[in-house]
Structures are given as structure tokens and as C-alpha cells.
Amino acid sequence: MIRSIVVAIAIALLASVCVGEGAPAPTLAAGQILHGRFVQVRHLKGLASPLKSDGTFVLAPGSGLIWRIEDPIKTTTVITPAGIRQIINGSEVQHIDTAKAPFVAHFYDMLNGALMGNWEAMRHDFAVKTTGDRGAWRTVLTPRRPDNPIAGMIASIVINGGKMVDGVEINRANGDSESMTFLDQTVSAAALTDDDARLLSNKDISPAD
């Protein structure tokens, strides 16, 4: 179960920076930080209306990802080499330690590899196909072995972008789907804010959150 969660995170993460093969999107260098806003729309079969959420994210290679949902419920999810934590109203409601679930670290490694332009780990599970040019490209990931529990939940992942990744669409095997749109993305070399640094350093959770 946890693993599937982590897979989904890893894929979403990879997608959000996208360094697909042939994709001209820039990889992040050490010390660079990607800030941005996201809008996510999730279509679950059986629900009359889709689940829509939006918020901001911070991605720091080597340190981790902070995913802040602002609407409909203020939630912070932090993924670091040390584990995954979910914080609501300043209190931690979920904590998966790498020590107890080392595959978290494994996927973190995969993410970091991808950020550095190393797609080997990804290729093991997915077929990667890119079309288009530098200005507008589209990458489709399809699981190589549908019986593989890691990739088995996913039917396909479609990533499109230009200079940056603009959107990701994840189609699940069970017919559900979700799309993420990334806005206002900026790459900066500035230091993390104190709050973000504290979250990523895995210290006590921020009271301001």
C-alpha cells in the first residue's frame, strides 16, 4: 500500500520537473530551487464532480519536496530522504520513516537521479516516448510490465511542456485520472525560507503552518 503511495509521489515529482528524454526542459543544478503553483483536478469514477485542489510547491534537489495544498484543506506534505510527513494545522498526522520504509529512500534516489538527467531507474519500469520539439513537447510513459505492482496501477502518464513542464496527466488502471497544471514556475538560486528549510531538514514541524 505504502509503496503505491510512494510510486505515485515519485512519478508526480518526476513529472513536475520533467527531464524527459529528448525533452529540452532544464535539469536543476545543485543549490537551485524550483517554486511554483499547481492546480490539480482528480476524476474519481463514481463521483459526480471532480476533486479540485490548488496550492504551491517547493522542490529542492538533494533536500526534498514540499507540497502545500491551500484549498480545500490546508495540508503540507513533505518528502525528504528521511521519509514522508503530512502536516495539518501544525500537527503531524502521518509519518513514514525511511528507516522503517527504506523504499521511500529508494524512490527518492530515483527522483534525484532523474533530476540529474539519469533516467535509468525510470526506464526499468516504464517505456518513455517523446514527441514534439523544444518549444512544445509531449512525453508519454507507459508501464513496461503491467503485472509489476509498482507500475501496475498506472495506465499511462502524459507530460507536456515547453521551457518548463506545464502539465501532467496520470491515467490509472482503474479508470480514475488526474491532471496537474503547473503555473508561475521560477528557478532560483536563493536560499530556502526558514520554514521550508526546517521542514526539509526534518526538524520539528513549523508552528506557523
Q: Which residues bind another protein (CB under 8 A)?
A: 1-6, 8-9, 12-13, 40, 42, 44-49, 51, 53, 67, 69, 72-73, 75, 77, 84, 86, 88-89, 91, 93-94, 96, 99-103, 106, 109, 147, 149, 153, 172, 174, 176
Distance of CA 149 to the CA centre of its chain: 19
Choice between 166 and 178, CB closer to another protein: 178
Joined together, the cell numbers standing for residue 172 give 490509472
Choice between 2 and 136, CB closer to another protein: 2
Task: State the nearest-atom distance from the C-beta of 193 to another protein, in Å.
Answer: 20
Task: State the nearest-atom distance from the C-beta of 116 to another protein, in Å.
Answer: 16
Choice between 62 and 152, CB closer to another protein: 152
| E strand segments, the chain | 33-43, 51-60, 64-71, 75-80, 83-88, 91-97, 126-133, 136-143, 154-161, 165-172, 177-188
Task: State the nearest-atom distance from the C-beta of 84 to another protein, in Å.
Answer: 7
